[in-house]
Amino acid sequence: MSASRRVTTAVNDVLDLAPRRGEISLTRLVAAVSADRGRPIEVTMADLPPGVCGQWRQYADHDVFMIQNGLPTWDRTLAHELGHLVLGHYGIPVTEAARDVAELASDDLIGYMLNQRTGCMGPGGEDIEQEAEDFAALLLYRLGRSPSDRSSIVQVRLGEAFG
């Protein structure tokens, strides 16, 4: 782990919010962060443009993490978007997001907003993407999940269904 102190602190803060009982899953952590901020966080699967893994939209009174449909590394992308949020980065304001819907076919716009390395659609730069990636890697490591494990999404879903 070569995560910065800032990232390590953010991961510890999130894990501190985890429920004291029961299995700690990524989706439960997202709910815990949401409760702590007093702002709902909605997680939705969506058909995002090709190459996009995830997107964080900021509405006036809530946040939405959009995850590409059928993405095998679903939990990795969710952890990445959560990282942006807890690290104080900026998502896409809803007015801008609304415009995107109308111009979704524009390759120029997608290229402008999409980080080619992480597949993340957002207004942030390379440093911010690296920080969110470090956060995701460390958080999933601490949760005991291998980001490359294709079955992890199934485990998360089963955990939610039966946990």
Q: Which is nearer to Zn ion, 86 or 120 (CB)?
A: 120
Least gap, CB of 56 to Zn ion (angstroms): 8
Beta strands in the chain (DSSP E): 41-46, 54-58, 63-68, 92-93, 114-115, 120-121
Amino acid letter, residue 146: S
Q: Which is nearer to Zn ion, 32 or 113 (CB)?
A: 113
Least gap, CB of 65 to Zn ion (angstroms): 11
Q: Which is nearer to Zn ion, 65 or 145 (CB)?
A: 65
Q: Which is nearer to Zn ion, 132 or 156 (CB)?
A: 132
Binding footprint of Zn ion on the chain (CB under 5 A): 120, 129, 132
Q: Under the phi-then-psi rule, with left for phi > 0, alpha for psi from -120 to 50, and beta for the rest, what region is 80?
A: alpha
Least gap, CB of 163 to Zn ion (angstroms): 28
Helix (H) or strand (E) holding 18: none
Q: Which is nearer to Zn ion, 51 or 163 (CB)?
A: 51
Q: What is the DSSP string of 101-114?
A: HHTTT-HHHHHHHE
Least gap, CB of 124 to Zn ion (angstroms): 6
Helix (H) or strand (E) holding 7: helix 5-16
Least gap, CB of 9 to Zn ion (angstroms): 19
Q: Which residues contact 136 (CB under 8 A, 6 or more apart)?
A: 76, 77, 79, 80, 82, 83, 147
